[in-house]
Structure 1
Amino acid sequence: MKDSNLLEVVGNVHSIETFGAFDGPGLRYVLFLQGCPLRCKFCHNRDTWGTEDNKLMTVEEILNDYNKYRAFYKKGGLTVSGGEATLQIGFLTALFKEAKNRNIHTCLDTSAGTFSEARLPEFEELLKYTDLVLLDIKHIDDERHKWLTGASNKNILKFARLLSDKKIPTILRHILLPQINSQDVYLERLRTFIDSLDNFIGIDILPYHTKGIMKWDNMGIEYELKDTPEPTKEEVLRAEHILKDDYKYMKLN
């Protein structure tokens, strides 16, 4: 049953991808929201940081647009990304709640950049309507995380534990940056952390790429990591070995 109050909630949308194949299971409708509190030096969507109005859309408008392509999403669903999707948690919760009313699979792609224990009730409400989380942990070392993103990782790791406590299926996404987070010592610490959780159903190593530099250049902003190379095949395989070998989700699937 439609909830008119939910349908009227407005979100600030950056862009929409109607046939996403890399943002959750199956083909998906991927909604990128505007705004992000993190300041990642390697961000390939630099234009999503600002919170100024871009394209304002209601829950109803988005789900009506989703319905145009729904026949293609039989094994897929709706993914919300960013920017940082949880920056608009009220809208996100309304969207996911109404999506579940319509039997749509919901997936949250997040770096958990807005989570704090003070906001626990808001996040618990959101997770009631979240089928899958793609969680981006950018660096396991807190000081290096501050240097890389402008923020601590402590609340991000607390959010990961919350997902485990709530048994929300989660896929780790880790962007591999040579000589920044690719060293064995950091990968081994990350592996130790995820081994302490019970809800991860997948681990994706995402090789850093330089394609986003053009956006920084077009915006007239200096890109600090211009000398950071893309990882070699060997570096990616090494990271796969450390993070995935004998991981319990691999044994279960």
Structure 2
Amino acid sequence: MTTGRIHSWDLSTGVDGPGTRFVLFFSGCPLRCLYCANPDTWHMRDGREVTVDEVMAEIEKYRSFVTTAGGGVTLTGGEPLLQSAFASAVLRRCKEAGLHTALDTSGFLGARATDELLADTDLVLLDIKSFDVNTYRALTGGELSPTLNFATRLDRLGIPMWIRYVLVPSWTDAPDPIDGLAQFVAGLPAVQRVDILPFHKLGASKYASLGIPFPLEKTPRPSAELIERVRGQFRARGLAVH
């Protein structure tokens, strides 16, 4: 019996894929993004073990509500691909149930996503943290190349993507790397849109409760002018931007 460790589940509209979504938060993540809003999902040990049947039973409670609202199921985290076998099993069952599926991932562990897992994925929400390798490493503790390789693979397979880019002043607002990312993304026909996500501090209280300093406590939110400038850089490449 395939089991996995999850943090929680919730319902959302408009931010985790099309329509109203049943969002399943996986426990465990290999990255330590400085702006992470969910430090309580970093460690698998902090999640609770569930079976695929238990997850599907919970999803079934909301099926009519989710499908009527043009939504589906989104796997997020943490990082779902850290538990790729469990993620694959949940996606398979969701597809068998006729539900739209989305995978929210950094792509850092994209090599763990089998072709079978991706065949059961209708949409990938791909978080590209930075297009500058040094900034990416400093911001996340990981490497950029696995994510770019994963994006190229998804495009080759024809799997629709929404690119997500968190805009953090003094970290991810430099014009040249953004232009580079926009050019890269524009060369991937499977990309349907780019979401510019302004940095926020909504997770600061979680750091406090965990006794962990919030690294970007003194970083301001991006201004409306900065947000529009970055959106314009992606629009200039012919991309749909939200």
In which range does the TM-score fall when normalised by the shorter chain?
A: over 0.9
2-structure distance, mates of 1:225, 1:183: 17
2-structure distance, mates of 1:206, 1:225: 16
2:82 aligns to what? 87
Secondary structure of the 2:143 match is coil
- Are the equivalent residues in 2 in contact too, given 1:84–1:113 (CA < 8 A)? no
Secondary structure of the 1:223 match is coil
1:4 aligns to what? none
Question: CA 1:44–1:53 in structure 2 vs 1: closer, same or farther (change >3 Å)?
Answer: closer
Which residue, 152, 171, 195 being the options, matches 2:143? 152
1:72 aligns to what? 65
Q: Which moved more, 1:60-69 or 1:33-42?
A: 60-69
% identity of equivalent residues: 38
2-structure distance, mates of 1:15, 1:170: 24
1:123, distance to aligned residue in structure 2 (A) = 2.6
Q: Provide structure 1 residue ranges, at least 5 long, that are not aligned to the other structure.
A: 1-7
Pairing 1:184–2:179 present: no
Report the AA paired with residue 120 of structure 2. Y
Secondary structure of the 1:158 match is helix
Q: Which moved more, 1:177-186 or 1:17-26?
A: 17-26
1-structure distance, mates of 2:223, 2:201: 13
2:210 aligns to what? 219
1:109 aligns to what? 104
1:20, distance to aligned residue in structure 2 (A) = 4.2
2-structure distance, mates of 1:248, 1:13: 34
1:73, distance to aligned residue in structure 2 (A) = 1.3
2-structure distance, mates of 1:197, 1:17: 31
Q: Provide structure 2 residue ranges, at least 5 long, that are not aligned to the other structure.
A: none
1:131 aligns to what? 122
Tell me the alpha carbon deviations over residues 170-219 of structure 1, each in whole angstroms, 9 at most, x when there is no partner.
Answer: 00000000111112112111111112211100110000001212211221
Question: CA 1:227–1:53 in structure 2 vs 1: closer, same or farther (change >3 Å)?
Answer: closer
1:151, distance to aligned residue in structure 2 (A) = 0.6
Tell me the alpha carbon deviations over residues 105-135 of structure 1, each in whole angstroms, 9 at most, x when there is no partner.
Answer: 110011012234xx4xx43221010000000
2-structure distance, mates of 1:240, 1:143: 23
Q: Which moved more, 1:188-197 or 1:152-161?
A: 188-197
1:248, distance to aligned residue in structure 2 (A) = 5.0
Secondary structure of the 2:82 match is helix
1-structure distance, mates of 2:171, 2:80: 25
2:10 aligns to what? 17
1:195 aligns to what? 186
TM-score normalised by L of structure 2: 0.94
1:224, distance to aligned residue in structure 2 (A) = 2.0
Secondary structure of the 2:130 match is coil
- Are the equivalent residues in 2 in contact too, given 1:200–1:249 (CA < 8 A)? no
Tell me the alpha carbon deviations over residues 30-83 of structure 1, each in whole angstroms, 9 at most, x when there is no partner.
Answer: 000000000111111011111215221111111111111111112111000000
2:30 aligns to what? 37
TM-score normalised by L of structure 1: 0.90
RMSD: 1.4
1-structure distance, mates of 2:239, 2:73: 27
- Are the equivalent residues in 2 in contact too, given 1:131–1:168 (CA < 8 A)? yes
Secondary structure of the 1:238 match is helix
Report the AA paired with residue 33 of structure 1. F
1:3 aligns to what? none
2-structure distance, mates of 1:39, 1:244: 30
